[in-house]
Structure formats: structure tokens, C-alpha cells
Structure 1
Amino acid sequence: MADIIFNEINSGSDNLDNLVKDLNGNFTLILTNPEQTLIATDRMRTYPVVYFLNDDKNLVITDSLEKYCKENHVSFEFDEDALEQYFCSDYVAGPFTIFKNVYSVQSGEIIKIKLADNSISRIQYFNWTPKMTDDENERDLTYEARIQDEIFSSVFARMIKSAPGVNNWVIPLSGGYDSRVIVNYLYKKGIKNVICYTYGIKDNIQSLISKRVSEALGYKWFFIDYPEWKDRLYESNLIESYLEYAFNGTSVAHLQDFPAVYALKEMGILQPTDVFVPGHALEVIAGNHLDSDMLSCPTIQSAIPILKRHFSGFGYYSKSRTNVIKQIKKIITEYNTLPAQICECFDWKERQTKFIANSVRCYEFFGFGWRIPEWDLELFNYWEEIGFNYRFKRIMFKEIFKNYLLVDQLKQIPFANDILENNRVPLKTKLINQIPLSIKRILKGLGMGQSSFIPGEGYHLIYNNLDETLSEYVESLSLPQSLMKYLKHYPKNQKIANLPINSITTLSNIRRIHTYIDQVG
């Protein structure tokens, strides 16, 4: 295959991207010959690598930037623009990292590097550019249900075939739709070797529904009580190692189910050949992140107010994001999409692939395999052609899944998403929802948002043992002004443990790297 691809490159053929377009599944290809190097990534960037020129002007490609730096006793300068992005959003947009002149692969991308002059060219062979207008004709849901069922059946058949030696399929089963699709189709396929788990604070709504689903299908189910495990996890010192493993210059480590996987392994429930199957991220391509304002985006500038939501980290003081938005505008200008498609494309290309899909590093860290069937190419192709009116709020997906695709054993079990959307929630949460956004930001900054805004899931407890304040953190290192402008507006006694979990992880990453850079000099 390498010879075929290089022949296409050397001939100047326009068919190069088609060779990679036909590949399905998860991959990063790295091919080299004396003239050039080629890197190609899948549509989700599930195996991210970074590339740069070292001091000798030699090309370096690595999937572990920090490990490379330590082994070679080198360091890099911070790129303050990218660092500020990372600070506000948990990832770095575009082909950049938080370091100067160090680049990261992007989703659906082919990178060609000519070794004679180290020139770089990038080909975007795939973009998530779904239809952003309403379907003119009414869709026959019975017909669409048959098509969707055929697609899901093919998707899960491919997944099962891809892991012939699997011991158990391990499903992080919430009370929502995406993970229920997975167990629904494993059951339809007659797969018995399935373990389901959920986590958080005892009797949270996700866990209660998850248990019902597992029991209805006859699958083993485990609940990991985070208050019981948080101290043991903290004392293990594994979190710091995981943060380094999952970062690679671009993405904050996803910690939400890290304690659960740790606990399942410690309890002896997991075996080396188990494969995790998380429910990422069917909700996006089926339309759950659509905003009605996207329909009226005639220009790139008109998409900016919607994109700002991705940069709300450290929101106690949010007036100084001008530079972040300026950088993002430069990046999205390079997107080969219509203005109305920019927000969906950004969500897929930046947040979903650099943060959500990066959560599989958790399973890798503990030595397990994984699959993400709901981002199969066949599903991408189907949903890309569905009109806005049928994708908005996942209208068609929900209707078809509940009424046509669910096995009989699951039809009477509600979905946590629907319960929350219908406001069948505690009075406390209803009252919180009435608080103006500006006040919520202040409360969140004061550390009052953890139990109120994320009831029951419990992952905010991971850092509960931290006693450090933000003032003490700031005194421990020399932060650039681009970051200080966000932190200086917090109360002096602000406990780091009371910040959102991803913000704490971001602070930890920045200090670890800053300390290393100072040591290397």
C-alpha cells in the first residue's frame, strides 16, 4: 500500500485523498521514503501524533511528546496564543500545540512533508459538512428505520469482527441514548460476553436507569461509588501519570470515568483482552448540538457568537477572550465549508476529536483496547444527508430508535436525557436553572457549581483532596499574562478543588510542563 500511495503523490494525482477516504475505522498511517514523509489520520484523530523539526533540522514524529522531551533532554517554548486557547477550552484548535513550531495531526487529514526542504502541505480529505437546510419532502420514518437498522447492523458486525479474541465487551452505560444503542445492538447480535458499568454518587439517575437496562438484557452490571474510591485513587499517584500520557501538547486528559476503570481493574473484574466501547458521539452527527441560529449564519463572523461557547473555561472573568476569538477566526477561515456548517465542523474537528475521542486514552492507560462504532464511516455518510429539520434536537433519531429499533426488553425503560429535558428534576435544580447566567458564572467561580450543576455523576470528587488555593498556585510558577488575566479576578482564597474538573486538570498540566521547562533550561 505504501508504494501505491507514494506513486500517487509523485504522479501529482488528485486521487491521493480517495485512497484514504475509502478506509474505515481507526488509524494513523506514517509512511516515509528518501524524498518525503506522509502522515494520514482517521476521521476522529483517534491516534494523535505530533511532528516538528529538532535542533538538527531532522523531522520528528511522536505519539508521546513529553516522553520524547525527557528521553532527549529537550524542551520547547510555550506558544502563548495556543496556550490561551487550551486554557479556555481544554484543547488547541487547528494544527497547533501549546508549543511553538510543534504541530499536531488533525482529523481527516493527510500531511506531506518534503524532506529536502521540510516544507509541509496538508490535505483535508474529510470534513464534517452536514446538510444545513430543511428537507423539502417529508421522510418516511418506516423506510428510514429500515435503513438505520441495516447500517447499525453492519457497523456492529464490523466491530465484532475486528476483535476476534475479545474476552468481554465493556460498556460505560449511562441512562442516555448513545450507550443504549451499543447494548441494544450487541444484544441483537446475540453477544453474551458483555459487562456494563456506571459510576458516580449512589442512586444518581444515570446509574438507576443503567442498572435497569443491563438487567433487562441479562448483562453483568457494576456501579463504582466515587466517594468510596476517590481517596484510594488519589493515593495511587496514577492521575499525574495519566495526565502526561493523554496530553501530547493538545488535549486535556478526560478524567470522567478514570476512577471507574481504575476501580474495575483493582476489583479484578477486567481482563487484559477486554475491549471498551464508549457511546461517542452519535449524538453529534445525529444533530444534538445543532443550534437554530446556525441556519442564519451567512458569514464566518456570524458563527463566532455560537463558537464562543467552546471557550468558557475559567469563566469567573470572561471579558478578555478577544485574542482567543481572533485566533479561532483565523483557523475557521481555512475550513472548506459553508458559513452555516462552520459550527458543526468545528465541534467535530476540534472538540469531539481532541477532547471526547481522546477519552479512550483512559482505557489504553490501563492496558485495554477500545472501539468507537458510532463514528463509523457509514453513519457519517447517512447523517450528512439528513435535513436540519430532522436532525435538530435528534428528532428523527429519537423517534426511530425508540419506536422501531429498540428490542422489546428495553422499550419501557426511560432515557435520562428525556427526564431531564422534561424538567422532571428536583426543585433545587429547577431553581438553579432560573438563575441568570452571569450569576451562575460567579457561583461557579466560587466553587459552588460542582454538586449543583453536575448532580450525581460525582467526578468532581476526583480532586477533592487538594487543599491548594489559586493564590498559592499562582505563586508556585511564573504564568504568562495571557493566563493571569483570567486568574487574577478570582477570590484570593479560591480553592482549586472547587473549580470544574477540566480546569483543575489544565492547571496541573501547565504547572507540570512549566516545571520541566525550568529544569531543562
Structure 2
Amino acid sequence: MSVEILAADRFGWRRNVGRGIDTLATGDPAAEAAVRNVLAASQASPATLARAVQEVPGHFAVIAKGQETGCAIVDHCRSSPVFLTDDAVSNDAHLIRLRRQLDKPDRVGIEDAAMAGFVTGRRTLFENLHQLPAGSLALWQGNSPAIARYRDYMPTAVKTDSEDMLIEAFLAALDDATKRTIQVANGRPIWVPLSGGRDSRMLLSKFVELGYDNLHAFTYGPPGNDERRAAKFIADRLGVPWSFVASRPTQMREFFASNERSNYWDYCDGLSAVPNFQDLLTLQKLRQSGTLPADAVLVNGQTGDFISGGHIPANLMSSDLTPDTLFEAIVSKHFSLWHSLKTQERLSAVRTRIFDQLDVKPDEPLDRDHAVALYEQFEFDERQAKYVINGQRNYEFLGLDWSLPLWDSAMVEFWRNVPVAMKFRQKLFVTALARWNYCGLFRNFDPKVGHWSGLARAVLIPSRLIRLSLGPARRDAFLRQMLYFGMYRDQYAPFGYAEFYRNARDLRNPVSLLSREWIHERGLSGDAG
């Protein structure tokens, strides 16, 4: 069976036909060249394709078709997604669904999306429409594609080096990843979304240290928020121009009701994850004002806290672990958008899927390091690749280029083999940055970022009184009802306070409401709220 390439006109993707080979690709040109060479030599197999791209340093996705063989391959973190059926492959899930008339809902995929905000494994919201997982390839040589995983996040050889040697190796990997971004930027302006956290601060500092002077930092959020003060201090200390764009609930409400937002969701969701607004409206304002150049390269800090161990749950650091301990940690982090959806029946089905995906036997004990590795593998494949990294679609939707140095292949390779004890609570990461301490920004400098800003801080007064008179539980219930006015007020704004209040005890955060609306707009139902 011949596979058909269905190409959508999307930012950064290019079509190349020659030597009897048709390719659709994005990212590092070395990956496209390597795949074309394999097909030209009539040597296509999962092993030859994997070897061909193994040393490609940049991010990429490649779809290719030769005389007898078709293939598709995404990089280690699925920075640009690819979608497929038995006889077609595309860079756009909506296009392939339309052309193949795939209208039957995938109930398992919808359940994932309602509980987690993304669809796990190869599924999407519709049956027979699949996505390529991170570090995977598809090869068509018969009636259906063979799917193979060529790279994952499980440790391959846990490092036994001293702390000093590990710090030296991490800082060297950081240098190399930053230099690769500088090479890609090639003199173009690099714009860094700057928060009060370590990741973006580290990248901006590294660009300055390496002498790249075409830099600009920007921060966004509610007026008067703590991130703004911290970011301004950091930018001033580094001598980097900085802008702040205030987020306004009214602007988000207007945008959410617009056709542009609908188009944005179609562009970004891949029918597999709720779109991540991230800094979309901020960048749109900066572009419209002429402040942000059209040739800028966006470089965010995604996602240093994950790869350096910041997401490892404390309950997995015990010596007495079972598969259900791992399952409970995964559900708590990833399948808890709506408390009401966590029924025994649903959780039992999710448990089976997770254990199958991770190849875990429910009656066999787990040691600490293996449990942590499995937990990080699941988050790497699912939330990070499908939701967090998919935030890069923000930039592409606006016609902006991007780079992800903290998801650099060598950087990821380093961190997956760092011992668990050195990753837990980011021990190695924090120690290394404190030792580097560029411009005094990483030692004895830990800006506190609160949830309440501006006039919203007023809720703290009655919350203290409620705690003193009625106890912590009532205080917590009151603050939950006030979250609408907190740090994420613009994300809640499209739904109004009445809708928020009605669901306050059930939902987890704004993504709960956004996921429910996203599923509904696809003509489906996740039975939440």
C-alpha cells in the first residue's frame, strides 16, 4: 500500500521533491538529509532510520516517501507533531481527519483529554487517527505502518561521577546547547520570556555570558505581580532591555470569543491536547506595536524544572514502593483536572493503560530508582511532549521562529542519566547554578512569587481571619473560591465567575475549564462539570 503525504501549509515546514523522494520536514535540515539518504539507498528499516537521525543535534520532524517506502519520524521530544492513519501521514491532524473522514470519537482518548488535558499513547480524540509519540518513527512497507520507538527517557547508564564532575558536565552541556541556539539565531534578535524562576534566568544569563548582544526579555501577567518585579531586577542586572505586558481579563474574554482563537485552537491542538495559550496574547500585542521584530527567535525556559528532577514526587523516594504507589503519583499529577471524573471505574481503566504503556506488572515491587524513571518517562512522553512543548505552536501561529535549548538532545541525554538522589528537588541543578552564580543571580537570590497580586492581595486579610476563627479547612475553601481573582485570572475570565464558582470544588485549575470547552467544541463530551 502506498502512503499519501497530506501537507498543510504550516510555519517552518518545507516540501522537497527530487531523486524520486518526496519530503515534508521542519527543523534541523540534517534530519531531512539523513532520511532522504536512507530512502535513496533503498535501505529503509526502523534501525537504519534511527541511526540516521541519532546524531542530529537540532529539533526536527520528517515525513518522506520514496518509490516503495514511506516513513515519518519525530525527534526525541516530539517538538513538532506528526499524525497518521494506515494509508496517510500529515503535519496537521485536522487535515488528515477531514481527508480520511474520521468522525468516530475515540472514547478512551476523550476520557484521557477530560481527565488530563492530553491524549495518551498514539491515540487522538478520533478513532483510527494516530499521533507519533516522542522519539518514534513510522515505516510503511506493507498494508499498515510499523511504529518503532528509537529513543526514550529511561536511564541508559546512570552516572557514578562525583558531584563536582556532574556539575562540570551539566554546565558544559548548557554551554553547548546555548551555543547551538546562538548559531541558529545567527544574529537575529533573541527574545526570552523572563519569569522569577531559575530556567529563563539561567538562559538569559548564559546568552549574556556568551556575548550575544541582540537580546530582549519580556514578562507578562497581572499588573503588580511578583514575577514582574523579579524579572525587571534580573534584566537590569544583566543589562538586557526588558518589557512588561499586563494581561487583562477583558482582553482574554474578547479573544476567547473570537474566530482567531478558534483558528488558533485548530492550528495547535493536534486533536490530542488542549492548546497552551502561554504568551500568545502578549506576543500578539508586541508584534502589533512593532516592538517585537518579525525575525525574532523566541527562547523560553521550558522545561528545566522537569528535566533536572523538579517534578519527582516525594512519595516515590521511599524504599517501600509498589506499582500502585507509582500509579497514584501519576494520577495525582496528570489525571486530576476534575475530581468528579476520578471514579473507580475510570481509574481502573487508566491504571491498566498506564501499566501497559510503561510495561509494569501490577503485582511486582518497584525499587525507588526504577519507579522514578518510569514516572519521568510517562511525564516526558505525555504532558511534556504533548502539552508543554506544544506551546511552541504559539510562536508558529504568529509566524515566529523558536529554539528550545533546555530540550536540546545532549541536554536531555545528560539529565536522564543523573542519579535520582542528585535530581530530587533539583539538587544538582540548584548547586551547579549557585556555584556558577553569574552576576550574583543564583546564590542567595530566590524571588518569592505569590499567587495574589495587586488588589487581589486583599483576599489575604479575610483568609487570615477565617483561619483564626473557623480553622484552616474553611480558610482553604474560601481561597479556592477566590482563585478566579488570582494569578490566572485571565485564564478563568472567558468562563465568568458564576461558572467558576459552580465548579470551584471540582476543578483543579484553568486547564480544567479549557479542556472541557475544547472537547465540547470538537463536538464531543468528556462528562465533566
- Return the TM-score normalized by structure 2: 0.79
Partner of 2:354: 328
8 Å CA contact retained: 1:234, 1:462: no
TM-superposition CA deviations, 1:126-185 (whole Å, max 9, x none): 11113898x877x243x444333322221111111112252x211110000110111011
SS in 1 for 2:292: coil
| Alpha carbons of structure 1 residues 249 and 448: separation in structure 2 relative to 1, 3 Å | same
TM-superposition CA deviations, 1:300-354 (whole Å, max 9, x none): 444211111210012255334323333333322289x955421010011111111
8 Å CA contact retained: 2:302, 2:388: yes
| Alpha carbons of structure 1 residues 449 and 317: separation in structure 2 relative to 1, 3 Å | farther
Q: Which amino acid aligns with 2:121?
A: G
| Alpha carbons of structure 1 residues 399 and 73: separation in structure 2 relative to 1, 3 Å | closer
Cα offset, 1:378, TM superposition: 1.8
Q: Which amino acid aligns with 2:227?
A: Q
Partner of 1:90: 117
Question: What pairs with 1:311-350 in structure 2 (closer than 5 Å)?
Answer: 311-316=335-340, 318-320=342-344, 321-322=346-347, 323-333=349-359, 338-350=370-382
8 Å CA contact retained: 1:5, 1:16: yes
Matched, 1:450 2:484: yes
Tell me, in whole angstroms, the C-alpha distance in 1 between the residues paired with 2:146 and 2:320. Answer: 30
Partner of 1:205: 226
8 Å CA contact retained: 1:128, 1:348: yes
Cα offset, 1:299, TM superposition: 5.6
TM-superposition CA deviations, 1:10-47 (whole Å, max 9, x none): 48684542222212221011122233221111111011
Partner of 1:476: none
Partner of 1:501: 510
- Structure 1, 9-18 or 76-85: larger mean CA deviation: 9-18
281, 302, 306: which one pairs with 2:329? 306
SS in 1 for 2:426: helix
CA RMSD of aligned residues (A): 3.6
Taking only the aligned residue pairs, the percentage that are identical comes to: 20
Q: Which amino acid aligns with 1:416?
A: P
Partner of 1:172: 193
Cα offset, 1:360, TM superposition: 0.7
Q: Which amino acid aligns with 2:55?
A: D
Tell me, in whole angstroms, the C-alpha distance in 2 between the residues paired with 1:299 and 1:10. Answer: 44
Matched, 1:117 2:130: no
8 Å CA contact retained: 1:92, 1:251: yes
Question: What pairs with 1:219-230 in structure 2 (closer than 5 Å)?
Answer: 219-227=240-248, 229-230=251-252
79, 89, 103: which one pairs with 1:61? 89
Partner of 1:17: 50
Partner of 2:4: none
TM-superposition CA deviations, 1:457-493 (whole Å, max 9, x none): x4x32452445976xxxxxxxxxxxxxxxxxxx99x5
8 Å CA contact retained: 1:27, 1:42: yes
8 Å CA contact retained: 1:84, 1:324: no
Cα offset, 1:506, TM superposition: 1.6
436, 439, 442: which one pairs with 1:405? 436
SS in 1 for 2:339: coil
Partner of 1:29: 62
SS in 1 for 2:522: helix
Q: Which amino acid aligns with 2:64?
A: L
Tell me, in whole angstroms, the C-alpha distance in 2 between the residues paired with 1:408 and 1:264. Answer: 28
Tell me, in whole angstroms, the C-alpha distance in 1 between the residues paired with 2:463 and 2:287. Answer: 34
8 Å CA contact retained: 1:92, 1:98: yes
Q: Which amino acid aligns with 1:406?
A: N
Cα offset, 1:391, TM superposition: 0.9
Tell me, in whole angstroms, the C-alpha distance in 1 between the residues paired with 2:233 and 2:36. Answer: 52
8 Å CA contact retained: 1:128, 1:384: yes
Cα offset, 1:211, TM superposition: 0.7
8 Å CA contact retained: 2:484, 2:497: no
Partner of 1:374: 406
Partner of 2:25: none
Report how many aligned residue pairs link the two structures. 469
Partner of 2:288: 266
| Alpha carbons of structure 1 residues 411 and 105: separation in structure 2 relative to 1, 3 Å | closer
- Structure 1, 5-14 or 206-215: larger mean CA deviation: 5-14
TM-superposition CA deviations, 1:252-277 (whole Å, max 9, x none): 10013222222222222111101110
Q: Which amino acid aligns with 1:450?
A: Y
Tell me, in whole angstroms, the C-alpha distance in 2 between the residues paired with 1:304 and 1:197. Answer: 38
8 Å CA contact retained: 1:287, 1:394: yes
Tell me, in whole angstroms, the C-alpha distance in 2 between the residues paired with 1:11 and 1:73. Answer: 26
SS in 2 for 1:197: strand
| Alpha carbons of structure 1 residues 232 and 81: separation in structure 2 relative to 1, 3 Å | closer
Partner of 2:312: 290
Matched, 1:102 2:123: no
8 Å CA contact retained: 2:200, 2:300: yes
447, 453, 466: which one pairs with 1:416? 447
Tell me, in whole angstroms, the C-alpha distance in 2 between the residues paired with 1:448 and 1:510. Answer: 26
Cα offset, 1:65, TM superposition: 2.1
SS in 1 for 2:523: helix
| Alpha carbons of structure 1 residues 429 and 237: separation in structure 2 relative to 1, 3 Å | farther
Partner of 2:72: 39
Cα offset, 1:417, TM superposition: 6.2
Matched, 1:393 2:425: yes
SS in 1 for 2:147: strand
Unaligned runs of 5+ in 2: 1-33, 362-368, 452-456
Cα offset, 1:123, TM superposition: 1.8
39, 51, 66: which one pairs with 2:84? 51
Tell me, in whole angstroms, the C-alpha distance in 1 between the residues paired with 2:238 and 2:444. Answer: 12
| Alpha carbons of structure 1 residues 102 and 157: separation in structure 2 relative to 1, 3 Å | same
Matched, 1:464 2:486: no
